[in-house]
Each structure stands twice: as C-alpha cells, then as structure tokens.
Structure 1
Amino acid sequence: MKKILFVLSEWGYWGEELIGPLEACDSAGYDITFLTPNGKKPTPLSVSCAPGYIDPPLGRSVTSEEMAEKTRKINDSERLDNPKSLADWFPRRAYPSSATYLRDMEAYYKQIDKIIAEELSEYDALAIVGGSGAMVDLANNQRLHDLILGFYKLQKPIAAECYGVACLAFARDFREKKSLIWGKHVTGHPIDYDYLDGTGFEGHHAIDGTNKGFGDGYINFGPPFYPLEFILRDAVGSDGAFIGNVGHQTSVLVDYPFITSRSTASSRECGRILVQVLETGLTRYGW
C-alpha cells in the first residue's frame, strides 16, 4: 500500500484543496498521514465552507455546496485531530552565532540524513495543501524545506497547491541556496487572481487567545504577503517557466518530481494527476 504525507497549515487551509487530492488518494487505497507544523489540528478557512462567498477577483463563488459539506464533515470528524508534528520530527538548523556552530550543524545534517534514509523512504509522495495559511507557517518553514528536500533527494513525487507552491520556491539545499524548482515548469496562484483585500487567516490562533478556532480567530491581512507569481517566475529561472493558465478553468503541471496546482478549481485534477504519477510513472503534464 502506498503511503502519502499530507502537509497542512495551522493558520487556515482551503477545504477543497485538501478534499480534491485526499479523495483521489483514498479512492486509490493509499495510506494517509497528516502533518502540521506543530501537531495542532488544522482549521479550514471558513469561506471555503461557505458556498455563498464570492471570490473578488473571479466575481463568483468558488465553493460548491458539495465541497463545503465535505470540508465541514472532515473538520467535524476525528480524522485530522492528531496530525504528526513537523517540529517534533525534524531538527531546527543552528544559528551561525552559536558558540558550537560547526558541531551543531554536523549533528543537524546527521539527523536529517537519518530521517531521509530511515523514515521518508517509507512514504511514496508528499502533498502540500494550499490556502492563505500556507503563507504564515509553511512558505518559510525551514523544517518543511528540509522535508521537501528529502523527498527531492529520494526522487519521490511532491505535489503543492496554490500558495503551498511557495514552499517549493523557497526549498533549497542550505549550502547552495538555489531553488529546487530552478529550470522547472510550475503553476500557482497568479497575480490576476490575488485579492486586493480579504486575505484571511484563522485557526487555533484566535486574537483573544481563547483558541476556539474555526472562524473565531479570523484575521484580514488585506492583500497577500507576496505576489506568488513573481516569486515563482524568479525561482524557476530562465530555463524554467511559470504557467498560470489565466482564463482556463484549471491549471495543473507535472515536471517531475513536482506536481503543481493553481488554486481551488484545480484540486480534483491535482489529485487525479498525483495518482497517475504514482501508478503510471507520468513525468510531464500540462506544458
């Protein structure tokens, strides 16, 4: 049985971007492990559970009644209650100011190499779920970068959706500092679809500290922290390409080992293609 590792933000994931690939993997009979930065239950963004919500750039609802119900159902179930903790699994890289920096880094790399050889080898693919929360605790998460690098070294499929694709742009060998997607063809949330206002975060980080979650801690940050399209265009370099497919209903690309998905509407296709990569050895799709 193939094992898939799903990574979710603790600051709000988009429901359909979990449901799409998860249903495809469930249907294929895969074993699923959920992972969050600190082992807390992930929270779906409330707008991804609200069919009446109108996405400002698109001028229409991007949440169907079906997907809203499925998102609420998995949130109310126990399936996401006890995710694996990335912080407990992967070590933190030492600061250069450490008095024992060289010894610390030797221990760090030794532990990373051991995890890759003995633990990541048990998994068949990595899937990074999108949503605005990914900007907060996934995009610049050093431990997640090391996890991605591990799958890359093992040449196992790495799928990322929407703002989760930013993790691929920033993931790189710390010694070389060159993006893993340099020279690759990727898609992601294009600037045409970025909000001018309303980029929200929520979860177990309620403003008043009560940790109630699911909408109670909603924070409107305005526009996104960064224009993902520009970051991806720079990260792939002159030999790669960012393909937003603006105007097309979906956008999913495979440039092995990477599977990238633009946004909500592409989620089911992303799941279908991930299974195809695993079952048929597909290495190129969408470009």
Structure 2
Amino acid sequence: MSLKNPNVVNPKQKKRVAIVIANPATSVTTGWPVGFWWSELTHPYFAFTEKGYEVELFSPNGGRCEGDGMSDPRDASGYSASDLISMGFISTPALAKLVQETRKVAEIDVSKFDAIVVAGGQAPMFSFEGATDLHKKFVEFYEAGKIAAALCHGVAVLRYARLSNGELLVKGKTVTGFANVEEDFADNAVWSMNLLPRGKHLMPWRIEDELRRLGANYIQAGLWREFAIRDGNLITGQQNFSGSRTAELISEALGA
C-alpha cells in the first residue's frame, strides 16, 4: 500500500497530537469496572508538552473518563505510588479537567493533527470492538502518512483497523503491545490474592496472540521492560512503562 502523502511532516511547524483514552467499561471476565491507564496518558502528554506540542484528549464516546484503579498513584494498592508524573497531572485542576471533558473521537479533524496516540488500560480490551469511529480515524491518520500510534492494551485497536482496501492495517507490520508474559504475571497476581478462580483470565483475549494471528510480526523486550517500535508511520509501545519511549519515537518521526 502506498501512503497518500508520505512527505506530510513539516519539522518547522508546531506539532499537534490527539491522545485517545478509553471510556469507562465493565470487564466481562471479572465484572470489575475498568478504564484507561494513567501513565499511558500522562507520560506521553508530559513528553509532548515539554517539547511545545499542542495536545488534545479524546475518547470514543466523549465525556468523563476514569483511570484503572491500580494506575492511580493514590490507590491503596500502592502499585503506581511512585508515578509522580501522573500524580502531578491528577493534582493539576486544568489537566484533571481534560479527563472529565474529553471530546468524541469522531470530532477529530485529521488535517489539523500530526499524530494520534491510543492509550491503553483494561477498558480497550472490552470496548474497542464497538469503537468504529476510532478504527476509522486511526486508519485515516495512517493512510494520510501521519503518525498512528498505540500503547499497551490500546494496541487492541489494531485488531479492528482496516485500510481503505479492506486489508488489516497490522498485517505484515512489526509491532509490540502487552506481552503474554505480562498477561501471565497479571493473572498469577490475581490468582494468588484469590481475586479470581485459578485458570480464569483477566483479559478476554491476548494482544500478542491476536497480532500474530492477524499476520503481524510481533516482538517484545521482556517482562515490564520499556519498549516501543516504529514500522513506517505506525508506532506501538509494549506496556505501561513504555509511554515515554513511545512518545520519543513519535517525536523523532515528526522531526521535532
């Protein structure tokens, strides 16, 4: 497939990035409320704004979004207690308000942005199948020669994104996303705490398995290792520790 405009990047122009976070959902495997993962929003947001980029937040349905509990630095689990970037974002009223008032993905004017970044969390695995506007916008960015990026379970969008010729966008691409070893780790953690019966999985399907099935060249860097990969104007990050690296690759691709 040839891109419509492979020379779209202008390094002298101020960059604009659309970050997409998932709307609140309910896990069909556990019955628990699920959302987006804070660091997968806040770390790229921080990296982009430090470079002077303009960043806008969107979600498939628009409106209020909520982070997964364990991704919140204030959560009793303490899992993300050291995430000072997310804590700073949450504690800044003007930034916290952005999460409460996201615009609908359908409202994204692709001509006005240089990149789209789809953050992860648990909700994408249960809600992205029906997020058809997101599938279309992601492909629109890609086919316009702009950066189309996804991170962690946000890579779930690649299960559904089809090019204008009907082919899956991910077919034949080198990509990453939440790895099987990380899914195993998460499953074992909830089993050991007796939060789920042993053998019952947190996720209804797995990113690594599905991307391989769809014909992608899936790669990963190991358990909880920061990792992101670029294949042309498609960029993917492995998991919640890869937000900054994903943002770096996007900035490199944008030439600024």
Amino acid at match of 1:274: I
Q: 1:29 to 1:162 in 2, by over 3 A?
A: same
**Residue of structure 1 equivalent to 2:17:** 4
**Residue of structure 1 equivalent to 2:124:** 134
Aligned pairs (5 A) from 1:131-170:
131-170=121-160
Alignment of 1:33 with 2:41, yes or no, is no
8 Å CA contact retained: 1:198, 1:223: no
**Residue of structure 1 equivalent to 2:104:** 85
Q: 1:143 to 1:68 in 2, by over 3 A?
A: closer
Counterpart among 199, 217, 233 of residue 212 in structure 2: 233
Q: 1:135 to 1:168 in 2, by over 3 A?
A: same
Question: Cα deviation per residue 1:34-64 (whole Å; 9 max; x = unaligned)?
Answer: 111221121111211147637xxxxxx4552
Alpha-carbon distance in 2 for matches of 1:259, 1:70: 26
8 Å CA contact retained: 1:16, 1:71: no
What is the DSSP-based 3-state SS (H/G/I as helix, E as strand, rest coil) of the residue aligned with 1:32? Answer: strand
8 Å CA contact retained: 2:72, 2:80: no
What is the DSSP-based 3-state SS (H/G/I as helix, E as strand, rest coil) of the residue aligned with 2:150? Answer: strand
Alignment of 1:251 with 2:227, yes or no, is yes
Alpha-carbon distance in 2 for matches of 1:148, 1:82: 21
Question: Cα deviation per residue 1:65-89 (whole Å; 9 max; x = unaligned)?
Answer: 41452353257732333221135x4
TM-score (norm 2): 0.77
Counterpart among 56, 61, 67 of residue 44 in structure 1: 67
Q: CA deviation at 1:196?
A: 2.1
Alignment of 1:64 with 2:82, yes or no, is yes
What is the DSSP-based 3-state SS (H/G/I as helix, E as strand, rest coil) of the residue aligned with 1:265? Answer: coil
Q: 1:160 to 1:223 in 2, by over 3 A?
A: same
Q: 1:5 to 1:79 in 2, by over 3 A?
A: same
**Residue of structure 2 equivalent to 1:188:** 177
Q: CA deviation at 1:137?
A: 2.3
Of 265-274 and 44-53, deviating more is 44-53
8 Å CA contact retained: 1:168, 1:180: yes
Alpha-carbon distance in 1 for matches of 2:224, 2:125: 25
What is the DSSP-based 3-state SS (H/G/I as helix, E as strand, rest coil) of the residue aligned with 1:264? Answer: coil
TM-score (norm 1): 0.69
What is the DSSP-based 3-state SS (H/G/I as helix, E as strand, rest coil) of the residue aligned with 2:39? Answer: helix
**Residue of structure 1 equivalent to 2:91:** 73
Alpha-carbon distance in 2 for matches of 1:8, 1:197: 27
What is the DSSP-based 3-state SS (H/G/I as helix, E as strand, rest coil) of the residue aligned with 2:98? Answer: coil
Alpha-carbon distance in 2 for matches of 1:198, 1:144: 32
Q: CA deviation at 1:125?
A: 0.4
Q: 1:133 to 1:71 in 2, by over 3 A?
A: farther
Q: 1:244 to 1:8 in 2, by over 3 A?
A: same
**Residue of structure 1 equivalent to 2:42:** 19
RMSD over aligned Cα, in angstroms?
2.7
Q: Could you list the runs of 5+ residues in structure 1 that have no partner in the other structure? A: 55-60, 90-114, 200-220, 281-287
Alpha-carbon distance in 2 for matches of 1:74, 1:222: 36
**Residue of structure 2 equivalent to 1:53:** 77
Q: How many residues align?
A: 222
Q: CA deviation at 1:21?
A: 0.8
Larger radius of gyration: 1
**Residue of structure 1 equivalent to 2:248:** 272
Alpha-carbon distance in 1 for matches of 2:212, 2:77: 30
Q: Could you list the runs of 5+ residues in structure 2 that have no partner in the other structure? A: 1-13, 25-34, 191-199
What is the DSSP-based 3-state SS (H/G/I as helix, E as strand, rest coil) of the residue aligned with 1:179? Answer: coil
What is the DSSP-based 3-state SS (H/G/I as helix, E as strand, rest coil) of the residue aligned with 2:229? Answer: strand
Q: 1:197 to 1:181 in 2, by over 3 A?
A: same
**Residue of structure 1 equivalent to 2:163:** 173
8 Å CA contact retained: 2:182, 2:223: no
Q: 1:46 to 1:29 in 2, by over 3 A?
A: same
